[in-house]
A and B are shown apart, each in its own frame.
Chain A
């Protein structure tokens, strides 16, 4: 009877839509929890909505650690809402993968700004990623470690999630293509590493790994929650060890105060965008950073590009999910790439050109 009730509900909505004509509000779903995204969202909302497209924000509440629950429910709500014609998000690879499963099942265009999991490319035709996959990023890191840092013993400390594991595999594949391999790969917990018992666990795992493999370059595929303490533990053992963060540290430009023992000169991080690269980026920074009252990272620029890209798609293709998908697929094929803050956007090839390496204290070599 529940199904019948849903059927009746949908039928009523459909009847209303048909009977009342086209809805005036066309929305893009925001796939980021409200608390995290609200300042940035409010900062870019005028720009997005100036094209006549509204943003439907995150509405599901609950324990933010329960990723599955939150993301799948929110994705379902977006899919159920006929006014939502596309979605931007979600937070990371795991969340994006969860949501992609829903959107591909329900045929909702889904633009992922900054998740790199290679599994997203297999989610279905309704999911479009703005950043290169973890295999492309892994190859970029490996080339940088071998060529720029002259590293000979590469170790990997990775999170046991889709992002960490994917990037580990990407680095390994690139090393093997170049005839070598890393000397160690250890999984580290995803918990906040400045409190017990996680701190002890991190320390034990990292120390054991360093003692076991004595690396001169360590690739760290964590987010900001454990990245800097990991770096501190590495440099405690050997301050000369090179640390390369994955994109999860978003360039690792700001060294937190909690980690005074890190050696910033031996830290590098992958990022997809830098604020000073061109006039378009500078305009974006000028427009948004003031409202945010904090520096903007690559993830912001990618989210902004995602919204503006979909607004353009809705404008040109109309507020129809299938038409929007066809419009996105046509970029770089039958249509010129769309020019965003992070550069030209098309989905017919990886955007490897946006990959760059930065550091907190030194410029990119």
Chain B
């Protein structure tokens, strides 16, 4: 350490102030020099220049005036020899000369002359003397001329002439002197400026040197000591207290350096004291820590010899402190198989100062005193004490923790297996709404590979209509408000929707903070379909019952109309015109009957004719109608690929169904588009039958798809599309029974129908119809032929008109007819004479006694009597139970005379 040296005394503040004062004086002197030396010279030059210019001008004017006056006087003098001189001319000249005296003595000239140089003033004064004398001579000459003293005037004029030359010379000389003086002034000014420039440069140079000196001074006396002080403070701040500052001056910084040195000396002493106290405290504290530590603490030297052994170590390892102090770790607690690695690690640390086990938390095996192995968690920290190193080890027996971890791992494995193998979908969803883990069942549920789902959000898989509800429910669940129990829809990549019952709950950590949500998703899509189908069936049934009730009365009316029309036509006495009218009436009534049948189709109650139908023919028929009537902007495309498009059913109903689908497509394409009808054959398995709501049985099916590129339907419209009397078309454009009838037709043909629609993209209807086993047979045309016969027939119908027309048609056929107005009367008639009748035709729905009940009674009275049920509303399945009531046949209202004649003939022949 160096002692501070004081080489000089002084005050930095005084030095800086002296520099400041010197700088101010320096600048002031420079400004004073400019003010005193340059500015007066400039002012004098300006004044001299003005004076010279003024003098020159006025001198020239006066000289010219005087010369002209003398000339005028000479002329007057010559004139006076011959004629008198007028006073006016003389007065004018006198005035001019006197005026010259005034103008030559203005204050301005005098003042300017006062500032001129002495030689110039002398010359001006001399010129003024000449001027005065010349002016006097001229005034005397004027006066002499006025007095008529011409010789005197001549003498004066001659003297004036003689004076004008020296006056001019004097004035010119004065002017020249003035110019010289001005030049001299300019030279003086130039010299003064040059000298001042030199002085200023020297001054500035001196100033720069002074500034440089000041900077150097400040650098040496102020900045350098401050930098040294700053560095010293930095070193002190990092603990270097052995530093001593040296400052050669006893100024403020010198005193500061001395203070600094005193401070570091004090700090050094204090640090030494603190260090000693700290070592004492550390030793005591270490002992306390070792005793109080929950972990076992072992301290060993660089050779692995135990130097400290805490009470907890005694408990963990079974060795007492006395037993292990100065024993090697390798001989006590290190298992045999690790002892070589332990020795190598110590050796490497001693060589390199590092090691793989140092300053890390490790799990190792250790030995107890009794030789048992157990797992420990150990943290080894090197302690450097001077030149030697020790290691402290904090050791924890983790036997129980390992057991718990194993149990948790086993539990986790069981949960994982259950999760992966669950029949229902299971997912783990992070708090950010992203899938963390999904099982295979869920992947199949949403139609995606499990790996692709990881990382996706709930919203990405959800049906668009459910996303908001999903978000709300998820947020409430995460907030701990309530678990999720709801039904939701997933949108598969192929556009289909999976419906699930969802149950989700939060999984929390030990502190209760939510970690993720576990969700169980049970696929209830098929169940929902069945429910939908059931709801649809119930709707259709209700509508069908309504339609059936109407159809009964309607068909009665039609039966009467058709019957009377047939009677008119069969009457030979009827004119040809009336017969034509009757034919028209019958045809119109037949269309009415068709309409009634369509209505009944809604409820799947229309009697299926059960005939083989070539579906392609129906489609072609529809195509022909569409080609004729649809907007030309709608392109019709047919892909009829089915090899055997034969189904069992009602051709007209199917044609109507296809036509309705085509009309629906047309209405969806107001601006044109494409209507495509395709047919294929397909074997439906059980799964697909389930997907189709279980309404069909597995087997071969004809698949008819009617597609358009129209406006499409919203999901809500799709949901109600098949609902009777539901329409989204404008008022008057749709009845709301078109798609309902299609649905009814398909269902009446034991088929199924699917609807797919995307808003703005179009709609497709896919119809599945069971294929007919045998080839379709050509449909034989029904020939309207009336078969005649004989015998007595009991006709029971509560409708008077039907009863009357049927009676007349039967009589027309050659039969005798007894009529009954209700079932009870019919029973009475049979009871009165059971063998009287060869056939009984009973209306199905009569007052007092229903047709079926009447048949049952009659069957008891006359077991062999053929019974025919006449009804406008009959469930197809009812035909199987007709026999149970004793009916041998039935005829649907409305019927024509030929239909009735063939049935009656058939029944009568069976009796025979």
Residues of A bordering B, CB below 8 Å: 1-4, 7, 65-69, 72-73, 75, 94, 97-98, 101-102, 105, 119, 122-123, 160-162, 165, 186-191, 197-198, 200-202, 204-209, 211-212
- From B101, B124, B192, A4 is in contact (CB under 8 Å) with B192
CB–CB A160/B118 < 8 A: no
Contacting A at CB under 8 A, from B125-148, are: 125-126, 128-129, 132-133, 135-137, 139-144, 146-147
CB–CB A122/B118 < 8 A: no
Tell me which of A73, A201, A209 has the highest count of chain B C-beta atoms within 10 A of its own C-beta.
A201
CB–CB B111/A101 < 8 A: yes
Chain B residues closer than 8 Å to A165, beta-carbon distance: 101-102, 105
Q: Check B238 for interface membership: any CB of A closer than 8 A.
A: no
- Supposing A68-B128, A186-B94, A189-B136 touch, asked if A105 and B87 sit within 8 A by C-beta, the answer is no
CB–CB B111/A160 < 8 A: no
Chain A residues closer than 8 Å to B101, beta-carbon distance: 160-161, 165, 187
Q: Check B115 for interface membership: any CB of A closer than 8 A.
A: yes
Which single residue of chain B is at the shortest CB-CB distance from A206?
B143
Q: Check B121 for interface membership: any CB of A closer than 8 A.
A: yes
Which single residue of chain A is at the shortest CB-CB distance from B149?
A204
Chain B residues closer than 8 Å to A94, beta-carbon distance: 105, 110
Cα A3 to Cα B188 in complex, Å, equals: 8
CB–CB B114/A68 < 8 A: yes
Q: Check B383 for interface membership: any CB of A closer than 8 A.
A: no
**Separation in Å of the B109 CB from the closest CB of chain A?**
10
**Separation in Å of the B201 CB from the closest CB of chain A?**
16
Cα A244 to Cα B173 in complex, Å, equals: 41
Pick 25 A–B contacts, CB within 8 A, sort by A: A1-B192, A1-B195, A3-B37, A3-B41, A66-B129, A68-B128, A69-B125, A94-B110, A101-B115, A102-B114, A160-B101, A187-B98, A191-B132, A200-B140, A201-B143, A204-B140, A204-B143, A204-B152, A204-B156, A205-B139, A206-B143, A208-B146, A209-B143, A211-B146, A212-B87
**Separation in Å of the B47 CB from the closest CB of chain A?**
10
CB–CB A211/B125 < 8 A: no
CB–CB B124/A68 < 8 A: yes
- From A4, A68, A198, A201, B113 is in contact (CB under 8 Å) with A68
CB–CB B143/A66 < 8 A: no
CB–CB B147/A204 < 8 A: yes
Chain A residues closer than 8 Å to B135, beta-carbon distance: 160, 187, 189
Chain B residues closer than 8 Å to A207, beta-carbon distance: 143, 147
- Supposing A1-B188, A4-B37, A201-B140 touch, asked if A72 and B113 sit within 8 A by C-beta, the answer is yes
Q: Check B464 for interface membership: any CB of A closer than 8 A.
A: no
- Closest 9 pairs between A and B when the two form their complex, measured CB to CB: A201-B140, A160-B101, A189-B136, A208-B143, A204-B143, A66-B125, A101-B111, A101-B114, A72-B114
Cα A189 to Cα B133 in complex, Å, equals: 8
CB–CB B121/A69 < 8 A: yes
Residues of B bordering A, CB below 8 Å: 36-37, 40-41, 87, 94, 97-98, 101-102, 105, 107, 110-111, 113-115, 118, 121-122, 124-126, 128-129, 132-133, 135-137, 139-144, 146-147, 149, 152-153, 155-156, 159, 188, 191-192, 195
Chain B residues closer than 8 Å to A205, beta-carbon distance: 139-140, 143
- From A66, A67, A72, A191, B136 is in contact (CB under 8 Å) with A191
Chain A residues closer than 8 Å to B146, beta-carbon distance: 208, 211-212
Chain A residues closer than 8 Å to B191, beta-carbon distance: 1
**Separation in Å of the B439 CB from the closest CB of chain A?**
110
Which single residue of chain A is at the shortest CB-CB distance from B106?
A119
Cα A190 to Cα B135 in complex, Å, equals: 11
- From A72, A105, A211, B147 is in contact (CB under 8 Å) with A211
**Separation in Å of the B480 CB from the closest CB of chain A?**
98
CB–CB A4/B195 < 8 A: yes
CB–CB A69/B147 < 8 A: no
Cα A218 to Cα B156 in complex, Å, equals: 25
Which single residue of chain B is at the shortest CB-CB distance from A164?
B101
Chain B residues closer than 8 Å to A161, beta-carbon distance: 101, 105
CB–CB B137/A201 < 8 A: yes
CB–CB B139/A197 < 8 A: no
Cα A98 to Cα B125 in complex, Å, equals: 12
Cα A112 to Cα B398 in complex, Å, equals: 126
CB–CB B188/A2 < 8 A: yes
CB–CB B121/A201 < 8 A: no
Cα A288 to Cα B105 in complex, Å, equals: 36
CB–CB A200/B124 < 8 A: no
Chain B residues closer than 8 Å to A209, beta-carbon distance: 143
- Supposing A4-B192, A68-B125 touch, asked if A187 and B113 sit within 8 A by C-beta, the answer is no
**Separation in Å of the A346 CB from the closest CB of chain B?**
25
**Separation in Å of the B202 CB from the closest CB of chain A?**
14
Cα A141 to Cα B39 in complex, Å, equals: 48
Cα A65 to Cα B98 in complex, Å, equals: 21
Tell me which of A3, A4, A94 has the highest count of chain B C-beta atoms within 10 A of its own C-beta.
A3
CB–CB B107/A97 < 8 A: yes
CB–CB B110/A190 < 8 A: no
CB–CB B156/A201 < 8 A: yes
**Separation in Å of the A202 CB from the closest CB of chain B?**
8
Chain A residues closer than 8 Å to B115, beta-carbon distance: 101, 105
Which single residue of chain A is at the shortest CB-CB distance from B191?
A1
Chain B residues closer than 8 Å to A75, beta-carbon distance: 114
Chain A residues closer than 8 Å to B188, beta-carbon distance: 1-3
Tell me which of A75, A98, A119, A160 has the highest count of chain B C-beta atoms within 10 A of its own C-beta.
A160
- From A2, A68, A122, A191, B107 is in contact (CB under 8 Å) with A122
Cα A318 to Cα B681 in complex, Å, equals: 142
CB–CB A201/B139 < 8 A: yes
Chain A residues closer than 8 Å to B87, beta-carbon distance: 212
Cα A205 to Cα B156 in complex, Å, equals: 12
**Separation in Å of the A14 CB from the closest CB of chain B?**
11
- From B133, B143, B152, A191 is in contact (CB under 8 Å) with B133
**Separation in Å of the A301 CB from the closest CB of chain B?**
28
Cα A198 to Cα B140 in complex, Å, equals: 9
**Separation in Å of the A211 CB from the closest CB of chain B?**
7
Which single residue of chain B is at the shortest CB-CB distance from A11?
B36
Cα A93 to Cα B121 in complex, Å, equals: 18
Other contacts beyond A161-B105, A188-B139: 6, CB < 8 A: A73-B121, A187-B98, A189-B139, A200-B140, A201-B143, A212-B87
Chain A residues closer than 8 Å to B128, beta-carbon distance: 68
CB–CB A189/B94 < 8 A: no
Cα A101 to Cα B108 in complex, Å, equals: 10
Cα A204 to Cα B122 in complex, Å, equals: 31
Cα A211 to Cα B122 in complex, Å, equals: 39
**Separation in Å of the B457 CB from the closest CB of chain A?**
95
Cα A16 to Cα B153 in complex, Å, equals: 64
Tell me which of A191, A207, A208 has the highest count of chain B C-beta atoms within 10 A of its own C-beta.
A208
CB–CB A162/B105 < 8 A: yes
Cα A72 to Cα B114 in complex, Å, equals: 5
Cα A161 to Cα B111 in complex, Å, equals: 15
Cα A317 to Cα B756 in complex, Å, equals: 125
Chain A residues closer than 8 Å to B98, beta-carbon distance: 160, 186-187
Chain A residues closer than 8 Å to B195, beta-carbon distance: 1, 4
Cα A97 to Cα B152 in complex, Å, equals: 36
Cα A67 to Cα B109 in complex, Å, equals: 14
**Separation in Å of the B462 CB from the closest CB of chain A?**
102
**Separation in Å of the B706 CB from the closest CB of chain A?**
121
Tell me which of A97, A198, A204, A205 has the highest count of chain B C-beta atoms within 10 A of its own C-beta.
A204
Cα A46 to Cα B129 in complex, Å, equals: 38
Cα A211 to Cα B143 in complex, Å, equals: 10
CB–CB A68/B143 < 8 A: no
- From B113, B122, B149, B156, A197 is in contact (CB under 8 Å) with B156
**Separation in Å of the B152 CB from the closest CB of chain A?**
6
Chain B residues closer than 8 Å to A202, beta-carbon distance: 140
- Supposing A66-B125, A187-B101, A201-B137 touch, asked if A97 and B110 sit within 8 A by C-beta, the answer is yes
